Amino acid sequence: RTALLSLTAAKEALADASIENLSGFRTGFVSANTVGGMDKTEEFFKEFIFNPAKGKLRNIVHHECGSITELVADRLGINQFMTTISTACSSSANAIIFAARMIKHGMLDVAVAGGVDALTRFTLNGFNTLMILDQDPCKPFDEHRKGLNIGEGAGYVVLVSERVLKQMNKPAYCLLSGYCNANDAYHQTASSPEGKGPYLAMQGALQQSGLAPSAINYINLHGTGTQNNDIAEGTAIKKLFDPLYPAMSSTKSFTGHTLGASGSMEAVFSALAVQQGFIYPNLRFETAMKELPFIPQTVFLAHQPVEHALSNSFGFGGNCSSLIFSKV
């Protein structure tokens, strides 16, 4: 299932890019996931644990994360460069960062970058053990938030060099103007209460882009709906943006938390926010968090002057990444 989701989204991204012939370019596939082929492995163990002579071994051949990338790259016909990134919930944001750096340093001309994750029993049980699942639809950044919802999906962007862009028949959606990965090294599964990792990631992305915080028009929040994540991210935003806060929302209120795919799915939302002037609503928000002086956007807005959008992705182990998308 992970490979099928990945292949579908990657093919859609390439078709949308309208690059007629990739053969003349150094092309890479940088893909992220956290579960690999675990959905099939779980099917294997249903029989194996009762009888070690049972279970279909073909179900575990593609268990590891890199196998999914290889399967999809082969189907896409990309064989010059491929790699897999797995850094929990910042995985696909880091895939985009890595691909952008390779293009910047002249190692690739075109990169299909993003990530995928499919639902598995292991993931659901793991988050349930942490007691951070909301049995109802999640409400990020609400005072009465109870946790996250697990989702599944895939998202990819096609990054190109300036040379390739000049040869394309289609204008770019936007420019990836800044990015940063940071780590607060605070806890295996929790963000630091003062939001050190999120702060460093957002600050670093702004510095690379050359933008002041006041230039950001929209923030796509990591916004999982857990007590720890939302207060940590909100504290970092307060420290960096106070007193002028841009519009912001968590699109996980629509998609659920898609784990390794969330960063790239939200990168797509952010790119569309810049291109189309979209400001997305934060579903089910009712009560402001008492610790924060701002609230998320609650109504969908179109035709807004979104010159720069910031997208946050923060993962277990303190691995925090921020991307900035700007009008071309």
Q: Is 208 exposed, middle or buried (0-12, 13-18, 19+ CB in 10 A)?
A: middle
| Ramachandran quadrant class, 137 (left: phi over 0; alpha: psi -120 to 50; beta: rest) | beta
Cα–Cα distance measured from residue 16 to residue 11, given in angstroms and rounded to the nearest whole number = 8
- Tell me whether residue 308 is one of the annotated catalytic residues: no
User: Among 174, 257, 308, 320, which one carries the catalytic annotation?
Assistant: 257
- Tell me whether residue 174 is one of the annotated catalytic residues: no
Task: Give exposure, 14-48, as e/b (b: 16+ Cβ within 10 Å).
Answer: beebebeebeebbbbbbbbbbbbbbbbbbebeeeb
8 A C-beta contact, residue 218 and residue 311: no
End-to-end CA gap in the chain: 36
Cα–Cα distance measured from residue 123 to residue 125, given in angstroms and rounded to the nearest whole number = 5
Cα–Cα distance measured from residue 113 to residue 216, given in angstroms and rounded to the nearest whole number = 24
- Tell me whether residue 89 is one of the annotated catalytic residues: yes
Cα–Cα distance measured from residue 227 to residue 225, given in angstroms and rounded to the nearest whole number = 7
User: Among 89, 138, 180, 320, which one carries the catalytic annotation?
Assistant: 89
User: Among 62, 65, 174, 222, which one carries the catalytic annotation?
Assistant: 222
Among all residues, which ones are annotated catalytic?
89, 222, 257
